[in-house]
Amino acid sequence: MVEEVLRRIPSLNAGERFIFGIDGLSRSGKTTLTEKIEKELKKSSFPVVTYHIDDYVVERERRYNTGYEPWYEYYFLQWDVKALKEDLFEALEKERALVIIEGVFLQREEWRSFFDFVV
């Protein structure tokens, strides 16, 4: 799997950025895959920066027992979407490396445009 992912990542020149998402449900191996990719790329001094969308999960009280259906709470209330957009995605403009973002639901409509490639 790591080799397949690495084949899909373009060669980057100094000063370029490529935003790569690793999407999957909880315990699907996202972090393990991320760590393996980082390890391989760092062998060649390839600049890699990693972010975890779980760092933006809101407090439990804001996402559970809200009166909404559980699916709605899980999909729409799990993260501070505004903070993700402003604090993470827009901040990525300054990065000049392969940026790996791993998390759940990375392919949401409001986030898709920030990624160059998602698996």
Is the pLDDT assigned to residue 3 strictly greater than 90?
no
Mean pLDDT of 69-96: 88
Q: What average pLDDT is seen over the chain?
A: 88
Question: How far is the C-alpha of 84 from the C-alpha of 14, rounded, in Å?
Answer: 27
pTM of the model: 0.84
Let me know if residue 34 belongs to a domain.
yes
Instruction: Decide if 59 is inside a domain.
Output: yes
Q: How far apart are CA 104 and CA 62, in angstroms?
A: 18
Domain carrying residue 28: 2-106
Structural domain tally of the chain? 1
Q: What is the mean pLDDT of residues 2-14?
A: 77
Yes or no: say if 34 and 100 are a contact pair by the CB < 8 Å rule: yes
Q: How confident is the model at residue 21 (pLDDT cuts 50, 70, 90)?
A: very high
CATH of the domain at 51: 3.40.50.300
Residue 66 has pLDDT above 90, yes or no: yes
